[in-house]
Amino acid sequence: MRIPLVDLQSQYQAIKEEVRAAFDEVLADMELFLGPRTRAFEEAFAAYCGCRYGVGVSSGTDALALALRACGIGPGDEVITVAHTFIATVEAIVQVGARPVFVDIDPQTYTLDPELVSAALTPRTRALLPVHLYGHPADMEPLLAIARRAGLRVIEDASQAHGATYRGRRVGSLGDIGCFSLYYSKNLGAYGEAGICVTNDATLAERLRMLRDHGSRLRYHHELLGSNARLDELQAAVLLVKLRYLDRWNAARQSHASFYNEHLRATGAILPTTRAWATHTYCYYVIQVEQRDRLRYQLEQAGISTGIHYPLPLHLQPACSYLGYQPGSLPRTEACAARIISLPMYPELTEQQLTYVVEQVSQSLALGTPTVER
């Protein structure tokens, strides 16, 4: 049996007639960007998140960069975030001329530890950028309190947490702007690249709309130096179809995670944690074991694909060496990065596939891949 880490074909087969019909409608009128499907998706996704405004953009990276610009973050400013995330989080900060400041994570949720943030504040700090990683929210209440006291903006990187909730509210609706990647493999994904920002602030929403479209409200009249970061109509059409299924797909992911949790508990591996104040939407199902690479090899031999999200923390990446961080700077982040492994996770997994995965993981660990000491 072969089980991929993600199976996009299975999802497509279930919705292909709706998707093809949506594409046909777009191609019939040839309004290919910033048209009626984009507007409909922006409204629907903003409402889903509990926000007043949605601004569709061309990628999650652009969502973050435009959010920072809309909040006035630029050269000389510092933005506090985590090193345990995809590099786009930091690329966006650097693209606007600001400097990322890394803070270590809560090792159970893999998200920004609020207790460590105050010590990282300086007179140049302008924003907090928590990442809701793997589908689990960051602990936003204390982060928002810190931001209020220090007069900081809060921009949520919710690229892996579509539909997740924090104390009953959808992520993305808690800070000044919520940023989502709609990359094709995400819980809600386009057929290529796309992204969206959500906010309750009308001024920020209008600024985001201008920044994504060459700084203009009216064609050929440019109030700002913006960029070309528009969401196209074909992607918006797909996303409108998929949004109707998002809660169902997230429920399936949660069910699969419960199966994994129940059947892998006895292996001694560190399993995902869900805080009492959160719902987890499992963009990835991540466990920790020692000798991670050995387990990956054994699973690959058994036909099971795995991933590592992410093997080298950003503070140790060559591209970030100029920031001056050294090994040992973020001990929790570094320890997790050395031991994490992502198991197959997508809504269409069958019970037979899930059973096979847990059997192979259990056998591999029992045969000598040591587990992590708690």
Compute the CA torsion angle 250, 255, 259, 261 (nearest 10 deg). Answer: 60
Contact 125, 104 (CB under 8 A): no
- Using a pLDDT cut of 90, give the percent of the chain over it: 97
Residue ranges per domain, the chain?
Answer: 8-103+110-243, 246-366
Q: Is the pLDDT of residue 370 over 50?
A: no
Q: Give the Cα separation of 312 and 83 in Å (integer).
A: 9
Q: Is the pLDDT of residue 373 over 90?
A: no
Query: Domain spanning 8-103+110-243 has what CATH number?
Result: 3.40.640.10
Sequential DSSP letters for 62-126:
HHHHHHHHHTT--TT-EEEE-SSS-THHHHHHHHTT-EEEE-PEETTTTEE-GGGTGGG--TTEE
Q: Is the pLDDT of residue 369 over 50?
A: no
Q: Is the pLDDT of residue 374 over 50?
A: no
For the stretch 231-251, pLDDT in tens is 999 999 999 999 999 999 999
For the stretch 301-328, pLDDT in tens is 999 999 999 999 999 999 999 999 999 9
Residue 283 backbone dihedrals phi, psi, to 5 degrees: -55, -40
> Which class is domain 246-366?
alpha beta
